[in-house]
Amino acid sequence: MAYSVSRGQLAWRALWRRFERIGWGGSRTCVCCGRNIFRFLPFAGGWATAPQVVRQLQIIGSDLRYYECPRCGASDRERHLHLYCSRLELDRKMAGARILHFAPEPHFSRFVRSAGPAEYIQADLFPRDPGVKQVDMLAIPYADQSFDWVIANHVLEHVADDRAALGEICRVLKPGGLAILQTPFSAVLEHAWEDKGVDTDESREFAYGQSDHVRLYGRDIVDRLASAGFLSRVCSHEGVLTDVDVRRHGVNGREPFFLFERRG
């Protein structure tokens, strides 16, 4: 994300992290580190400082109030994935599997590794870690039907041609293979919208809610993602995690789990 953070906000966050590390615990729980905490840290200034488009178009992605665990740094998106995958016992399906993970998040990566995959390839267009391979999602350098899983958590909104990327993901998945394709979307827009004329950081933040996004998905997001050759296995928080309190676990209860299966 690219919202500005003031010096005061940075100082407050640093102070709160030190307070949490005293270890007294609280009523909130981070599933990534297993610690009890008093509160999750908001992103920047929370919803109050979010761009107008995020609020007016009701963009569903991170909950800016409960963004970061002050103990381990896990984001709400990682915690939500952990909860979804654990409840659906997807770690069992990851055991012995070949997995390709784009823009791998450190905490969710640990969850994937703990499942015991046969091969786990971490990939990014601009890798910062030597353990992450440079891979362009628009031209994935692996053979057809190479993987049992592809994970791309909040990646597609950054990709210039998402339909081509989805085609590549479908190509490298085995029939019956699964893809996790979490992506923010608007609960107001009927269809995704993008315009090549929106080509500066400022205009992208104004139009899409974030300076490095190149489109904003709408309510037809499931159909758009599935059209590449997938069956929708999408489920909602209230349908799968009915007993999971969003405040206690610091997740966005409006965020669905975008799980898709490659058609046979």
Per the listing, tokens 């989805």 go with: 166
CATH number for the domain harbouring residue 227 = 3.40.50.150
pLDDT over threshold 70, residue 16: no
pLDDT at site 48: 78
In a domain, 52, yes or no: no
pLDDT at site 44: 76
Residue length of the chain? 264
In the structure encoding, which two tokens stand for residue 181, read together? 């394709």
Taking only the tens place, the pLDDT of each residue in 109-137 is: 999 999 999 999 999 999 999 999 999 99
How many domains does the chain fold into? Answer: 1
Split at pLDDT 50, 70, 90, the class of 103 is very high
In the structure encoding, which two tokens stand for residue 100, read together? 């390709």
Q: What is the Cα Rg of the chain in Å?
A: 18
In a domain, 49, yes or no: no
Taking only the tens place, the pLDDT of each residue in 23-66 is: 566 899 999 999 999 889 988 777 877 889 999 999 999 988 99
In a domain, 155, yes or no: yes
Residues of the chain with pLDDT > 90, as a percent, come to 81
Burial status of residue 144 (CB atoms within 10 A of its CB: 0-12, 13-18, 19 or more): exposed
* CA atoms within 13 Å, Cβ hemisphere of 65: 10
pLDDT at site 17: 61
Over the chain, what is the mean pLDDT? 92
Q: How many angstroms separate the most distant Cα atoms in the chain?
A: 54
Q: Which residues contact 34 (CB under 8 A, 6 or more apart)?
A: none
In a domain, 1, yes or no: no
Segment 220-242 shows an average pLDDT of: 97
Phi-psi region of 262 (alpha: psi -120 to 50; beta: other; left: phi over 0): beta
The boundaries of the domain holding residue 137 are: 86-262
pLDDT at site 4: 53
Segment 191-217 shows an average pLDDT of: 95
In a domain, 14, yes or no: no
In a domain, 50, yes or no: no
Taking only the tens place, the pLDDT of each residue in 146-197 is: 999 999 999 999 999 999 999 999 999 999 999 999 999 999 999 999 999 9
How far apart, in whole angstroms, are the C-alpha atoms of residue 83 and residue 61?
16
